[in-house]
Amino acid sequence: MRIALIGGTGDIGEGLALRWGVETDHTIVIGSRDAERAAERAESYAETVESCGGRAEFEGLENVAAADGADVVVLSVPPFHVADTVDAIAGSVTGVLVSPAVGISRDESGFHYRPPPTGSVTELVAEHAPEGVPVVGAFHNLAAGRLTDLDADLGIDVLVVADDEDAKATVSSLAEDIPGIRALDAGPIVNAAEVESVTPLLINVAQRNDGLHDLGVSFE
Amino acid sequence: MRIALIGGTGDIGEGLALRWGVETDHTIVIGSRDAERAAERAESYAETVESCGGRAEFEGLENVAAADGADVVVLSVPPFHVADTVDAIAGSVTGVLVSPAVGISRDESGFHYRPPPTGSVTELVAEHAPEGVPVVGAFHNLAAGRLTDLDADLGIDVLVVADDEDAKATVSSLAEDIPGIRALDAGPIVNAAEVESVTPLLINVAQRNDGLHDLGVSFE
């Protein structure tokens, strides 16, 4: 499988790239607005993965080229860039679009869920996705630091929302390629807001309780 | 300590009454709009608790009388009755007001978080609470069935929000009186929405994934 990580030079993109790199034999394409930066990062991830015995292939390309021909395209960009990014790659995307971004504001009380007017970032992606391209919301609640630290145990759940059941199954299976991740079905993408809003909660809890950091969520 | 469970004849009230009854020596007051029904339920809970070796005292009273003199008053009523209930007991409440209710709507896609215009039910309680009465949001994400089943292990977290740190500590300690519950600080009550919105998510996940039911959440 060919997986493109659009914005794959960012922290959540790096975490997914390294974990899939070590655990699968997929081809992982790091996308960036800057092709040179994408190539540099792809090479750096490949070295890390190889040193851990991983066998995935890495490529680094500008975002539009990265999306082209990928079976799965993960939009690992900040929430306020998501709509523009989908519009920019719309001509080349044919695979499943995956949205992990969450709109969050911060004030003196902590972190707060701030969805776009569409209801959630996942639904915003669906609004901008080209006709026929399925959209899946997933990986919203992963702590990038814990994902990137390949020695860190996960033992957490990934909530997956999608209207297309095949696309949901593909992404759930990709999530479970990473040991310690269980993928759970949270329904269609209209249910994405409740999934996304867990992310600011995780940050609030991690900041306010001793001994907790880089938290994930588990349903028991 | 004297704990009033307003609407304590309902399912979450029953669960908390039974668990605190078995695990503590607090006095537990079951409140209802109907004093006779409150007394019947208090007697029934007392029998269950006694048969499990519990030593808590139970009383059953009409809501206003139940709140009178209680150190902690739990508003275990449906979200659309919360404001009216706080107004009704306002003259007798002096203890900490605890809000566990969540606004939820349901359609063919699943369950959705629907907060009141104040932002959350917890903030609605704060808006209606008498001057000087601290408000704590807690127990939103407990599955009543699992709480009521005294043989069921919990192993879950209770997220606590409050602006008054003493009140937060009191309620966190009460939560942890129940074995298998860990209380986590989620900040001031302006952070309540992200806590409350976990509840419809838990129901969606339980309905859509085999083998999962009466779910709780754990932060790891």
pLDDT tens digit sequence for B16-70: 999 999 999 999 999 999 999 999 999 999 999 999 999 999 999 999 999 999 9
Residue-level pLDDT at A94: 97
Partner residue facing A219 (CB), from B188, B190, B212:
B212
> Phi and psi at residue B137, in whole multiples of 5°?
-95, 125
- Chain A residues in contact with B112 (beta carbon < 8 A): 190-191, 193-194
When pLDDT is cut at 50, 70 and 90, the band that residue B72 belongs to is very high
When pLDDT is cut at 50, 70 and 90, the band that residue A91 belongs to is very high
CA distance B124 to chain A (A): 18
When pLDDT is cut at 50, 70 and 90, the band that residue A38 belongs to is very high
Whether A201 and chain B come into contact, CB under 8 Å, resolves to yes
The residue-averaged pLDDT of A62-86 equals 97
- Chain A residues in contact with B194 (beta carbon < 8 A): 112-113, 197-198, 200-201, 204
CA distance B174 to chain A (A): 17
Residue-level pLDDT at A200: 98
CA distance A2 to chain B (A): 28
A75: left (phi over 0), alpha (psi -120 to 50) or beta: beta
Residue-level pLDDT at A80: 95
The residue-averaged pLDDT of A7-16 equals 93
Whether B32 and chain A come into contact, CB under 8 Å, resolves to no
Whether A176 and chain B come into contact, CB under 8 Å, resolves to no
Residue-level pLDDT at A77: 96
Domains and CATH numbers, chain B: 2-208 (3.40.50.720)
pLDDT tens digit sequence for B121-153: 999 999 999 999 999 999 999 999 999 999 999
The average confidence (pLDDT) of chain A is 97
Taking an 8 Å cut-off on Cβ atoms, the answer to whether B201 and A216 are in contact is: no
- The interface predicted TM-score of the complex, written ipTM, equals 0.94
Residue A139 · residue A75 · CB < 8 Å: no
When pLDDT is cut at 50, 70 and 90, the band that residue A93 belongs to is very high
Whether B152 and chain A come into contact, CB under 8 Å, resolves to no
The average confidence (pLDDT) of chain B is 97
When pLDDT is cut at 50, 70 and 90, the band that residue A17 belongs to is very high
Task: Classify B155 as helix, strand or coil.
Answer: coil
How many angstroms separate the CA atoms of B32 and B119, rounded?
Answer: 27
